[in-house]
Amino acid sequence: MLKIWTVYNHPTDYPDKFVARLFVGEQPTESVIIADDLETIRDILCFELGLTVLGRSPEDDSKIVETWL
């Protein structure tokens, strides 16, 4: 199954934070990364987890910033 981290800009459940949520296939998991700023999320996903960023699609929810594989 494909593992995808989706990064959100101040989602409803964390209105003062940026959040990355791990999805396996289309199913969300309990794994989240929470930070005060987007750069911290990006640093963790890129440098600690070694993932690659994909830009958002026009049809994505407005809270979605990007996804990482």
The end-to-end CA distance of the chain, in Å, is: 12
What is the Cα–Cα distance from 46 to 25, expressed in whole angstroms? 20
Question: pLDDT value at position 39?
Answer: 98
Domain that holds residue 41: 3-68
pTM of the model: 0.94
Q: What is the domain count for the chain?
A: 1
> What value, to the nearest 5°, has the Cα angle with vertex 60 and ends 6 and 31?
20
Mean pLDDT per 10-residue run, the chain (69 residues)? 96 96 96 98 98 94 96
What is the Cα–Cα distance from 11 to 22, expressed in whole angstroms? 14
